[in-house]
Amino acid sequence: MDGDIIVFQREDDGYANFELPTAKDYFRDLFYQVDVTFCDKLLPSDSGFTLELSLRMNYDQMAHAVAQHQGCDPYHLQFFKCQGYRDGPGNPVKCTFEGTLKDLLVFTKPRQPKKLYYQQLNIKISDLENKKQFKCFWINGKLKEERELVLYPDKNGRVSDLLEEARRQVELTDKGSGKLRLLEIISYKILAVQREDILLEHLSVGGTRTFRVEEIPSEETNLAEDELLIPVAHFHKEIYQTFGIPFLLKIKHNEPFVKIKERIQRRLDVPEKEFEKYKFAIITMGRQEYIIDEDKTISITQFLPHPGAQTGGNLQARPWLGMDHINKTPKRTRYSYQEKAIKIHN
């Protein structure tokens, strides 16, 4: 009723040279054959291409099969698992993955097409996996042009390595200092200026915390004993309603506030009529004290940490200068949820 299929194989040494020398090998290969669709991770609607592979393939064999189809270097490919619960790329697959293709497809539902995602790199995948992806923002000297940077310094690198990587992607001013610094920003206020010897693994990005790379203005490279860099931020009515682009400003001890105000106006390039509506306050320990008399001199001690405060280089524990005015910045999210292509400048 059910029947049996009996396969005969002639006993001949010539068959030993075949890729599948025995009938048992041939049928086992049929059993493990699977159609896998590979989609480009960077193309949201990519229909991909389908290859007939074996579930017993290792990572290297799979990469070579895809590379042969695409006409590229197998070591310049990065693969991603399918999310399983919904269509889309999931976690990346390390090039040192020791499992088989079957292990990579384990999250795919049985009746769904087998799918993996990939992207082509301009460096070797092994080099990429030794680097740390670090997203930050670049701001020009006029505090106008802000754009996202995706940097790939070494995993064990320091802030100095990150700044050196950023230098290859940004354009410095002709009359600038040529030096870069990394600012840590939270809720539109400058939290800290990170030291160049800090390990990158100690920096965490998330929530309202971001990092910004900027060129240090020439006048801020060497501070005299009676000078201080103070954090400045925008807010409206309540000090927790901060917005816009915060910045650092150099002030001198016992300098009339009217001079500080003039420098701020030049720095922000705000028209006179609009700038007249700005109110200024020194915010200390969550309380604001508005500056009424503009001829009043400002002491740098007003911006030093509260006695006994453990700052550890953290500027948030220090007083800051707030600019109270209406928020006219366009309402848009500063985060892009669409991943960009990996681009590393050597």
**Distance spanning both ends of the chain, measured CA to CA:** 69
Residues 201 and 294 in one domain: no
Q: Phi and psi at residue 294, in whole multiples of 5°?
A: -70, -20
Model confidence at 334, pLDDT cuts 50, 70, 90, reads very low
What gap in Å lies between CA 29 and CA 201, rounded to an integer?
Answer: 46
Q: Who's near 338: CB < 8 A, 6+ residues apart?
A: 44
What gap in Å lies between CA 80 and CA 62, rounded to an integer?
Answer: 13
Residues 82 and 160 in one domain: no
Residues 338 and 227 in one domain: yes
What gap in Å lies between CA 227 and CA 88, rounded to an integer?
Answer: 53
Residues 29 and 97 in one domain: yes
Residues 68 and 177 in one domain: no
Average pLDDT score over residue span 264-282:
94
pLDDT at 16: 62
pLDDT at 333: 47
CATH code assigned at 188: 3.10.20.90
pLDDT at 280: 96
Mean pLDDT across the chain: 86
Model confidence at 336, pLDDT cuts 50, 70, 90, reads very low
Domain membership of residue 54 (yes or no) is yes
Model confidence at 335, pLDDT cuts 50, 70, 90, reads very low
What gap in Å lies between CA 133 and CA 196, rounded to an integer?
Answer: 18
Beta bridge pairs of residue 235:
242, 324
- Per the model's pLDDT, the better-predicted residue between 164 and 123 turns out to be 164
What gap in Å lies between CA 230 and CA 261, rounded to an integer?
Answer: 13
Boundary-marking domain end, from 220, 245, 261? 220
Residues 272 and 338 in one domain: yes
What gap in Å lies between CA 31 and CA 50, rounded to an integer?
Answer: 18
Boundary-marking domain end, from 220, 244, 264? 220
Residues 341 and 227 in one domain: yes
Residues 227 and 324 in one domain: yes
Boundary-marking domain end, from 73, 108, 128? 128
Residues 103 and 202 in one domain: no
pLDDT at 305: 81
Domain membership of residue 325 (yes or no) is yes
pLDDT at 324: 96
Burial class (CB in 10 A: 0-12, 13-18, 19+), 343: exposed
- pLDDT tens profile 67-93: 999 999 999 999 999 886 677 888 899
pLDDT at 289: 94
Residues 161 and 56 in one domain: no
Model confidence at 338, pLDDT cuts 50, 70, 90, reads very low
What gap in Å lies between CA 102 and CA 61, rounded to an integer?
Answer: 13
What gap in Å lies between CA 80 and CA 91, rounded to an integer?
Answer: 6
The domain containing residue 240 runs over which residues?
Answer: 223-307+314-345
Model confidence at 196, pLDDT cuts 50, 70, 90, reads very high
Residues 143 and 100 in one domain: no
Domain membership of residue 3 (yes or no) is no
- Per the model's pLDDT, the better-predicted residue between 334 and 44 turns out to be 44
Average pLDDT score over residue span 88-117:
85
Domain membership of residue 5 (yes or no) is no
3-state secondary structure of 178: coil
Domain membership of residue 285 (yes or no) is yes
Domain membership of residue 66 (yes or no) is yes
Residues 119 and 206 in one domain: no
The structural domain count of the chain equals: 3
Model confidence at 49, pLDDT cuts 50, 70, 90, reads very high
Domain membership of residue 4 (yes or no) is no
What gap in Å lies between CA 282 and CA 289, rounded to an integer?
Answer: 5
Domain membership of residue 6 (yes or no) is no
Model confidence at 211, pLDDT cuts 50, 70, 90, reads very high
